[in-house]
Chains A and B, each alone.
Chain A
Amino acid sequence: MPVTIEIPTAFRRFTDGAPKLDCSAATIAEALDELTSRFPDLGRHVRDDQGQIRQFLNVYLNEEDIRFLGGESCLLKEGDRLLLVPSIAGGSEL
């Protein structure tokens, strides 16, 4: 399905400045794979060593956090928007 992935400013130095990527994917996983194969340098920022979406990256399908939609296996429909947002955490370590 044709869907759009919106890319935050902080990620754009890995996407040649592109603010979004129009792609065709049946699931969220496929869309993210297309994003990272198109922009390989982004790959390690999207997934961790175990292949999971990184803990401090939130992914939304339209208005909803994908963790409420069954995760990456969620099916996409035409016109869907995927939004990547780095989690805003302070953390604490001496």
Chain B
Amino acid sequence: MSTAARTATPLARRILASPSMVYIYVVLAILTIWVVLSSLGSVPPVLLPTLGETLQQLAAIVSDPETLFANVGATAAEVTLAFAFAAVAGVALGVVVGSRTDYSRAYEPLLANLNAIPIVLLYPLLLGAMGSGGEAKVVIGAISAGLPIAIATHWAVRGVDRDLVVAARSMGARRLSTVRSVTLPAVLPGVFSGLRTGLSLAIVTVVAGEFLSATVGLGLQLARAGESFQTAALFAWLIVTAVFTAVMIGLLSVIQTLVIRKVNA
């Protein structure tokens, strides 16, 4: 029925409502506003460079792949490490706290309240203790990402329909096959939504840490360009950072699809 309804809609509406087309509209809209604003001259160029200048800067960045990959690679390594710690610890913590009503009642508020604290505030402390290498960023990134992952996992575990577990038992399932065939598929969507939030936070936190103090990384490049009023370079590095973020989130989506397909097979 849904396919019939979709084919019956007019072509224009089908294009408007296509998920992949939405990205194209949004990017086109942003570019249009950008070009209009900068050509009107009402915004000073130091605040808003022209599209042409920005593309030139972007070309300069891309033409020096060594610098580009050194910076992207440093940020990617920190984000990946922070996210990996956060994913393992957050999922484990969420499963433990979510597995029992009394644990959940005792510890879920703690996790929620910790999560409400902006962990980046700890940067001055950690940068002082650990220096401007990657360590402080990995630690703060892992804490920032780990809490939402733990909370999402906790709710996913709490939310498993008891009826489905009882039904499995009535059909003769042992504990291990119940976990494998009922609990795991039931919690995966919730866990992955926590992982996505966690990954975004890990990226934000690591890049923000590089703003403050770093020897290499996307955040450092953004800070340098901003502080020296090279707005076109700043915009070019922003574009690089946006692409980097999209690739990381995209990779996680691919992993999610593969894992869910494997578990539900």
Q: Tell whether A and B belong to one assembly.
A: no
Which residues does A use to contact B, with CB under 8 Å? Answer: none
Which residues does B use to contact A, with CB under 8 Å? Answer: none
